Amino acid sequence: MGELKIGRMVMGPVQTNCYFVYDSESKKAVVFDVPCNGAYIYDTLKKNGIEVAGICLTHGHFDHIMGVNELRAAASVKVYAYEEEKDVCEDTHNNCTEETGRLCTVKCNRYLKDNEEVDIEGIRFKVIATPGHTKGSCCFYFEEAGILISGDTLFNGSIGRSDLPTGSESTLIRSINERLMCLPDDVKVYPGHGDETTIGFERRNNPFIY
């Protein structure tokens, strides 16, 4: 297998980051969160010689799932999320699509467990449960590559909101401090919105870190 690389598309009305992590040799990719326009994502990656091998969700909010079903159909792949997020992915109130006027649910092909080591077509990563933004929010950690896909749990200099269905601020802060701050300083953090950061930078500068 080749070196893991990461790409980003910023999409949708709230500028959500859609990431794709791919192997430089096989050109297989896992897409993390699909804000909208799944067919566009598929076509763009295909034009660049990258094949979608799977879709993983950091959580089930509208701005991270609206393009999932379209991309899944185009690529004929499975969708994965943390097991505690089923009630968000499959409920239009909990995933906030009711508020947008464009109802959407996602039935994942498989729900993952905390600390599970996942291998999708040679793309390997670990599930880290980080409840708080939603009850089933999670992060995806590529230990060898030093990459963390953090969704709306940890941002550059801040944290995700916790006032939406199934959210809890105290749980979110605890998740970040207990599950993420144990990672090495040089791990690059790729959040659901905004610019990338590192664990070390957040440890030193984020006001929500103990």
Q: Looking at the domain assignment, is residue 75 inside a domain?
A: yes
pLDDT confidence band for 154 (50 / 70 / 90)? very high
- pLDDT tens-digit series, residues 12-28: 999 999 999 999 999 99
Q: Looking at the domain assignment, is residue 77 inside a domain?
A: yes
Task: Give the mean pLDDT of 87-114.
Answer: 97
Given this model, what pLDDT does residue 1 score? 77
Task: Give the mean pLDDT of 102-131.
Answer: 98
Q: Looking at the domain assignment, is residue 57 inside a domain?
A: yes
Q: Looking at the domain assignment, is residue 210 inside a domain?
A: no
Total domains in the chain come to 1
Q: Which long-range contacts (CB under 8 A, 24 or more apart) does 4-13 make?
A: 4/123, 4/142, 4/144, 4/145, 4/147, 6/147, 6/190, 8/190, 9/41, 9/44, 11/35, 11/36, 11/37, 11/67, 12/36, 12/63, 12/66, 13/63
Task: Give the mean pLDDT of 100-126.
Answer: 98
- pLDDT tens-digit series, residues 158-167: 999 999 999 9
Strands (E), 45-159: 51-56, 79-82, 110-112, 117-120, 123-129, 138-142, 147-151, 154-155, 158-159
- Average pLDDT of the chain to the nearest whole number: 98
For every residue of 56-89, DSSP letters joined together read E-S---HHHHTTHHHHHHHHT--EEEEGGGHHHH
Q: Looking at the domain assignment, is residue 197 inside a domain?
A: yes
Task: Give the mean pLDDT of 137-146.
Answer: 98
Q: Looking at the domain assignment, is residue 109 inside a domain?
A: yes
Q: Looking at the domain assignment, is residue 30 inside a domain?
A: yes
Domain range enclosing 172 = 4-205
Given this model, what pLDDT does residue 137 score? 99
d(CA 39, CA 33): 14
Q: What is the CATH number of the domain that holds 193?
A: 3.60.15.10
- pLDDT tens-digit series, residues 28-60: 999 999 999 999 999 999 999 999 999 999 999
Q: Looking at the domain assignment, is residue 91 inside a domain?
A: yes
What percent of the chain lies above the pLDDT cut of 70?
100
